Chain A
């Protein structure tokens, strides 16, 4: 192939038992329909899925790794956000 490469698409597959779509990988395609076909041929050959989403990689808004300290570190010392932080009252077996 000479000239420009086709745009990159990210592929999300929902497996038979899975509840939500998960990122499977990426493919190159010239348009949306081609992306869907290529995703099917590349990522569901072994019955991995029952539903496919594709999205142009350029359409994904991603967090900046350089800002990861501000983004994610404040959550690290907030142990009260985890249910295990709280003592269970006696007599409550399931919550």
Chain B
């Protein structure tokens, strides 16, 4: 794989992460427990959709075959998506949503910070813009994780279960494949090893603050980056792509 195709694959994956997580959050619009949190969730979801659009548009330019953001979002199959398994897991209760966001955004923010200093100017610009949005999300969501963990007995038990369930998907964030390695070496991209070190110390501090314990089980599942997904992604994509598949090229 040359450095150009690695960059294309990397940018597409960033778009996939943002789109799949954004779509999961959109599914919860109008279902949040409080009006204020409802607004926050919808804002955050739109931040992700906006980031997906920027990554996909750029991927289309890098590819140079005339594909645009919609082609990437709506006309690819499940096995062409390279998002993390963590992000496609079905929604559960509010604590599950908050936990997923903290686990991912702690990684994603560090990834964006590193990308903002990479050698590809466009990617660095997009990352710098996304970084500001995610920094706020993380602040908001971390406060919630601490509030729930250090809250009532029920909220503590439920959010501890969320952490235990989702923990198995966190290892995939740091498993470097060919694409990660080439982007790190050839474009001065993030070192996943360094991101993992930072993530571990940050998540430990947050869990302690939230009086939650780190799951003992370190068994990890992965495959999303390589297009091997859990059974959940197919259903999500089917719903998301329905309109474009049935009425190709339909627009407002």
Which secondary structure dominates chain B's binding surface? helix
Closest to A29 in B: B36
For the complex formed, measure the closest distance between the CB of B230 and the CB atoms of chain A, giving whole angstroms: 31
User: Size band of the A side of the interface?
Assistant: 10 to 19
Q: Which of A28, A33, A41 contacts B143 (CB 8 A)?
A: A33
Known A30-B147, A33-B143, A37-B143; judge A42-B34 contact (CB<8 A): no
Could you tell me which residues of chain A, from 9 to 62, have a CB within 8 Å of some CB in chain B? 27-31, 33-34, 37-38, 40-42, 45
For the complex formed, measure the closest distance between the CB of A56 and the CB atoms of chain B, giving whole angstroms: 15
For the complex formed, measure the closest distance between the CB of B135 and the CB atoms of chain A, giving whole angstroms: 13
A37 to B33, CA, bound (A): 16
For the complex formed, measure the closest distance between the CB of B137 and the CB atoms of chain A, giving whole angstroms: 10
- Which A residues touch B139, using CB under 8 A? 37
Number of chain B residues whose Cβ lies closer than 8 Å to a Cβ of chain A: 13
Report yes or no: B43 in contact with A28, Cβ–Cβ below 8 A: no
Report yes or no: B33 in contact with A1, Cβ–Cβ below 8 A: yes
A6 within 8 A of B: yes
Report yes or no: A41 in contact with B40, Cβ–Cβ below 8 A: yes
State the B residues within 8 Å of A (CB): 33-37, 39-40, 43, 136, 139-140, 143, 147
17 contacting pairs across A/B (C-beta < 8 A): A1-B33, A6-B34, A28-B34, A28-B36, A29-B36, A30-B147, A31-B147, A33-B143, A34-B143, A34-B147, A37-B36, A37-B139, A38-B39, A41-B36, A41-B40, A45-B39, A45-B43
